[in-house]
Amino acid sequence: MIEVDNFSKTYAGFRAVQGISFHVNKGEIVGFLGPNGAGKSTTMKVLAGYLPPTDGRIQVGGYDVVTDSLEVRKRIGYMPENVPLYTDMRVHEFLRFRAELKKVPRRKIKERVAYVLERASITDVQNKIIGTLSKGYRQRVGLADAMVNDPQLLILDEPTIGLDPNQIRAVRDLIKDLGRDHTILLSTHILSEVELTCNRVLVINRGKIEASDTPANLTRLVRGGGSVLIEVKAPAADVISKIEALPQIDDVEVVPGEGDWTIAKVFGKPGADIREDIFGVVRQNNWPLRELSRVKATLEEAFVELTQE
């Protein structure tokens, strides 16, 4: 659905995006992650046909975004960051206008508008003037607008920014639901959202793709997918030296516990399951043990690790 090949974008001498390549398959929900200023919005603007790329080739649904811009724009639904809308129009009026503009056949306009009003749960405010709506409603009007021409691809730039937790949940459910019939590329800062909705994550930092994988695999990459926490009755120095001697260990962090107890956080090499080895060490040394548990890495840790210099 999206093919990006060696794409760069330069703004007045500043290279916002530097030669990135990635692809999004049909039917995928892909999360676009990265710190502020990493180049997410820029990339989305180029995909939506708003900005031309400085270099590289980008295709959406088989059409080039530069030479076949109109064809690309017919096939996408784009929701820009901060959802700019005509504040002087009524909701249904605005959606009808957008449907007409996006070349929805005249006899289908009424049906499509009613459908997206319902999908975005804004049927009750359809007669209100957009300028009087709250942020949450405007966000949903933006989503309804993006869906109105039944596009193959939805590009959503921070669809949940500025919403309260209930609204975030509602929008997340909607996106998940939409993912059944549309390909979706969405950017966000809320990592739990990505974990819950996306099949795949693209991490972009300083204009470069740092990782592209499923949320589960990404967290696995982070220092072996998490750590093992143990609490044993043994001197800290002993614990460190004995466990670090194991082959699959990356790092051991020790926190003094109460009395003679030592709490250690053990990080294994990527992909390794070190629980059994650790238990082996504990048994050999006859250390009394009162906890051995696995702490799964979060996507947040993956994000921090990938995007911090």
Partner 1 sequence: MAWWTLFKRELSSYFHSGVAYVVLFGSALAQGIQFLFIASMVMQNHYTQSSVMQVFFVWPLFWLLLLVQIPLITMRVFSEELKLGTIEMLLTAPVTDWDVVIAKFLGALVFFLVLWLPITLDLVALQLFSSPPPPVYWSQIGLTALTILLLGSFYVSIGVFTSALTRNQIIAAVLCFAFLFFTFGVSLLHFMQNLNDSVQAMISYVSSPEHLSNAGLGIFDSRPLVYYVTATLLMLYLAKSVVQSRRLKG
| Residue of 6, 57, 31, 17 lying closest to 212 (CA atoms) | 31
User: Could you tell me which stretch among 43-51, 176-184, 197-205, 245-253 binds partner 1 (CB under 8 A)?
Assistant: 43-51
Nearer to partner 1, 151 or 268 (CB): 151
Chosen residue from 50, 115, 261, 279 binding partner 1 by CB under 8 A = 50
Instruction: Please give the size of the binding site for partner 1, defined by CB under 8 A.
Output: 31
- Pattern of binders to partner 1 over 145-174, x per CB under 8 A? x-----------------------------
Inter-CA distances, 305 with 13, 58, 273, Å? 29, 29, 20
Contacts 24+ apart (CB under 8 A), 296-299: 296/219, 296/225, 296/226, 297/219, 297/220, 297/222, 297/223, 297/225, 297/226, 297/227, 298/191, 298/219, 299/191, 299/192, 299/194, 299/195, 299/201, 299/215, 299/218, 299/219
Cβ pair 231, 290 in contact under 8 A: yes
The kind and range of the H/E element at 115 are helix 109-119
Nearer to partner 1, 48 or 252 (CB): 48
- Pattern of binders to partner 1 over 84-123, x per CB under 8 A? xxxxxx-------xx-xxxx--------------------
Chosen residue from 23, 74, 169, 233 binding partner 1 by CB under 8 A = 74
Chosen residue from 70, 216, 295, 304 binding partner 1 by CB under 8 A = 70
The residues binding partner 1 (CB under 8 A) are: 9, 11-12, 42, 45, 48-52, 70-71, 73-74, 76, 78, 80, 82, 84-89, 97-98, 100-103, 145
